[in-house]
């Protein structure tokens, strides 16, 4: 088995991102049934969302700065250059919005949701936005990796022809 | 929910409303900065000179803006004056516009 540091960091990035999305979904479901009894669970899940997204941000950022340039060159010479030009360019900026929303979630989850309908609505909205943008970013990550894969396996690199 | 035993509190705290408004502004700023970096290459050089990589500077700008505006809005209670439902609508609209703005820009420009 030959697992490089690059592989570990990239997979950790995706795993933390999925964990953050699941934690935000957990907040959403708990907030739908907000009671005095689940207030602590909502705050814990909101904190888990922020911590997971921060870890995904750090791992993804480190990988992007140190390892992505080589993969970008491969993608751009392959049959799916849009995997970088559209999907990576969008993902690397859209993720920052997901991250900001993830940091916002523990702040708004400090509200007393049980007696406050508008606070519940706010937590539901923030959690839903994290899940939607987070899943879009995860999907974009899959397209980017596939862009590198088809460059190496299917079409070959333009530079090789 | 047992609304009979708990009175409704239709307001948000100054901290929540302040950071929600800060997040909405930061989402739009994030997309505007992405457009500017893509349209005007020298900006990337300036950002690179600050942190070694323009994307890292972009991240830091977003985080500083979100935290800075959040603390200012919370302290001054500026966002508390906005109707909470409008504030939630503004956040959703800002994220939708910012996300769509990124996709359309990198797809067609």
pLDDT per residue as tens digits for the range B38-90: 999 999 999 999 999 999 999 999 999 999 999 999 999 999 889 999 999 99
Residues in Cβ contact with A5 at an 8 Å cutoff, skipping those fewer than 6 apart: none
Distances (CA, A) of B44 to A47, A61, B56, B84: 33, 17, 11, 37
Give residue-wise pLDDT tens across range A38-76: 999 999 999 999 999 999 999 999 999 999 999 999 999
Q: Report the candidate in A129, A131, A14, A133 with the shortest Cα–Cα distance to residue A64.
A: A14
What pLDDT is stored for residue B16 in this prediction? 96
- Judged by DSSP in three states, B106 sits in helix
- Taking contacts as CB-CB distances below 8 angstroms, the residues of chain A near B59 are 57, 61, 96
The chain B residue lying nearest A31, using CA atoms, is B1
What pLDDT is stored for residue A53 in this prediction? 98
Indicate yes or no: CB of B16 within 8 angstroms of CB of A33: no
pLDDT surpasses 90 at B109: no
Q: State the nearest Cα–Cα gap between B43 and chain A, in angstroms.
A: 16
- Percentage of residues of chain A with pLDDT beyond 70: 96
* Residue B9: CB atoms within 10 Å: 15
How far apart are the C-alpha atoms of A45 and A23, rounded to whole Å?
6
What pLDDT is stored for residue A160 in this prediction? 53
Give residue-wise pLDDT tens across range A108-135: 999 999 999 999 999 999 999 999 999 9
More confident residue, A154 or A149: A149
């Amino acid at each position: 088995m030959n697992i490089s540091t690059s592989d570990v960091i990239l997979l950790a990035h995706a795993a933390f991102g999925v964990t953050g999305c699941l934690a935000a979904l957990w907040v959403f479901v708990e907030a739908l049934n907000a009671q005095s009894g689940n207030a602590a669970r909502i705050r814990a899940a909101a904190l888990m969302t922020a911590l997971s997204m921060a870890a995904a941000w750090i791992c993804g950022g480190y990988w992007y700065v140190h390892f992505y340039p080589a993969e970008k060159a491969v993608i751009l010479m392959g049959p799916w250059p849009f995997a970088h030009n559209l999907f990576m360019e969008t993902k690397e900026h859209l993720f920052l919005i997901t991250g900001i929303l993830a940091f916002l979630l523990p702040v708004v989850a400090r509200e007393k949701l049980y007696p406050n309908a508008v606070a519940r609505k706010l937590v539901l909205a923030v959690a839903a936005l994290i899940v939607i943008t987070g899943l879009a970013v995860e999907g974009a990550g899959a397209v980017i990796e596939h862009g590198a894969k088809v460059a190496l396996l299917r079409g070959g690199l333009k530079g090789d022809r | 929910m047992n609304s009979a035993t708990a009175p409704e509190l239709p307001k948000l705290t100054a901290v929540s409303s302040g950071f929600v408004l800060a997040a909405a502004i930061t989402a739009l700023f994030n997309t505007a900065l992405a457009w500017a970096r893509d349209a005007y290459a020298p900006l990337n050089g300036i950002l690179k000179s600050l942190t070694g990589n323009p994307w890292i500077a972009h991240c830091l700008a977003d985080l500083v803006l979100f935290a800075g505006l959040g603390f200012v809005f919370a302290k001054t209670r500026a966002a508390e004056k906005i109707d909470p439902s409008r504030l939630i609508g503004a956040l959703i609209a800002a994220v939708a516009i910012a996300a769509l703005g990124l996709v359309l820009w990198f797809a067609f420009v």
